[in-house]
Amino acid sequence: MTSVLLIEDDPLVRRSLELALGRYGYTMITAATGENGLSRFTEEAPDIVVLDLMLPGIDGFEVCRRLRLDSQAPIIMLTARTDDLDVVGGLEAGADDYVVKPVQPAVLDARIRAVLRRAVSDLDGVRSHGSLRIDTESLTVTLGGAPVPMTPTELRLLLTLSRSPGRVFSRQQLLEEVWGHGYLGDSRLVDNGIMRLRAKIEDDPAHPEYVQTVRGFGYRFGPV
Amino acid sequence: MTSVLLIEDDPLVRRSLELALGRYGYTMITAATGENGLSRFTEEAPDIVVLDLMLPGIDGFEVCRRLRLDSQAPIIMLTARTDDLDVVGGLEAGADDYVVKPVQPAVLDARIRAVLRRAVSDLDGVRSHGSLRIDTESLTVTLGGAPVPMTPTELRLLLTLSRSPGRVFSRQQLLEEVWGHGYLGDSRLVDNGIMRLRAKIEDDPAHPEYVQTVRGFGYRFGPV
DNA sequence: GTTCTTTGCGACAGGATTGTGACACCGACG
DNA sequence: CGTCGGTGTCACAATCCTGTCGCAAAGAAC
């Protein structure tokens, strides 16, 4: 049984989502404020959090950030506007997905399943993105079923990037995490590593599908 | 119905995991101290033990060791940090898996299933991979029907690797699990052990079928 | 369009990692 | 006491990887 913590201040929305998701078989825990949500979270250890952006007191972004401080639990943001900034901010704050209000329960259910599936497949040590499959236990990478031989650095790079799909890593961060030592000058080293990685997993390295360049900042794994 | 003995001193964590795992359909037995845990274990004979590392009185390692004295029940360690030392120590003490706190119930559920699955597959005592056959009860190895004489170290190495086919073991892990003592310098020892093992079970040691090298990381048993 | 910055990519030499043989040590056993 | 199988250590070569340089290409700024 999957438990969902719903943090939403509007009593009407809260109640209706509680009932609807309950009908989908989720165990519902609700909170009307960010503070209450955070404390319910530590008490109940839910499997997933559905979080409204607009909250009295500490807002959704902040709640998201605090949850992320000591938990990897999946978070789905509820946002009222179609404002892209909210979405970006939400994902930046550590949300795994977002849904625009008003939301149909069936949509939310689908998103919850999708996010949980992703989280669980991470547990089994397998990360799938398109036709790329990364097994973190056997340290094997397959592309459309065909195994891709990887060198240690390429593999560490891919593992690091794919651990947080969508997140932008600066060259400095990648140097720290993949190469380990505090390199000073040569961030071209990272570019080179990325290139070698792309050569192996990208069909068309000029238009990479998995490892994106974020000019001026660094690199990012996965779509948008 | 699967019964889980949860040994955890923090009342909040204990209670929340008890509720959450209960929702997953496990019968929960809880204990707040190592002593209590040990006695509950003999009383209730749970299918699996989830054990916090930090306990007042006798700590998790010690509890683990005592459980192992007269039981093969799977043990999952809860450890607060990503501290590798804890992990190694835990596995050394006989734990089957470890999970880092704070833990999502879904994660713990997945681990419990995985460990139980493994435990069941260990029961039959025979592991077959291609023409290689490992009998974990009589401790005999046959290759295409012909018995292969193994030295103790080679056998421990093969048993350790084949217990988790596909998983990559670092040299350090193999030193801990196979050689047991905390060797400092020579990881070439592992390479040598692998070589000797390969010489016995591989047709063409230059292109091994069973024991693969994962450059930069370690070794792995079984097909890619 | 021009210029400047940033990134992609090939090449290469030095270096790290691993496979393998040789050898000494050690305990078991006769 | 001598032998012998098993094991830990060392040395060395082969192989594969990696860091760096240089230049081309692409993108951003103006």
Domains of chain A: 3-116 (3.40.50.2300), 126-221 (1.10.10.10)
Instruction: Say whether the CB atom of A139 is under 7 angstroms from strand D.
Output: no
Q: Tens of pLDDT along A37-74?
A: 999 998 888 889 999 888 888 888 888 888 877 677 88
Position A123 scores a pLDDT of 63
Q: Which of strand D's nucleotides are less than 7 A from any protein C-beta?
A: 5-11, 16-22, 27-28
Q: Which residue is nearest to nucleotide D5 (CA to C1')?
A: B151
Q: Tens of pLDDT along A185-208?
A: 576 888 888 999 999 888 887 788
Q: Which residue has the higher pLDDT, B113 or A35?
A: A35
Percentage of residues in chain A having pLDDT higher than 70:
86
What is the Cα–Cα distance from B20 to A74, expressed in whole angstroms?
A: 16
What is the Cα–Cα distance from A11 to A6, expressed in whole angstroms?
A: 11
In whole angstroms, D24 C1' to B213 CA is: 38
Pick from A123-137, A152-166, A182-196, B150-164: least confident: A182-196
- A97-100: strand order across its sheet: A27-31, A3-7, A48-52, A75-79, A97-100
Q: Which of A120, A138, A147 sits opposite B167 (nearest CB)?
A: A138
- Model confidence, pTM: 0.61
Say whether pLDDT at A91 is over 60. Answer: no
Are B17 and A45 inside 8 Å of each other by CB?
yes
Instruction: Say whether the CB atom of A145 is under 7 angstroms from strand C.
Output: no
Say whether pLDDT at A5 is over 90. Answer: yes
Q: Which residues in chain B are closer than 8 Å to A45, comparing Cβ atoms? A: 13, 16-17, 20, 102-105
Q: Which of B63, B147, B34, B54 is nearest to B101 (CA)?
A: B54
Instruction: Say whether the CB atom of B5 is under 7 angstroms from strand C.
Output: no
Instruction: Identify each DSSP E strand in chain A by its residue range.
Output: 3-7, 27-31, 48-52, 75-79, 97-100, 126-129, 132-135, 140-143, 146-148, 168-170, 211-214, 218-221
Position B65 scores a pLDDT of 82
Q: Tens of pLDDT along A149-191?
A: 899 999 999 998 888 787 788 888 788 788 876 565 576 888 8
Position A75 scores a pLDDT of 87
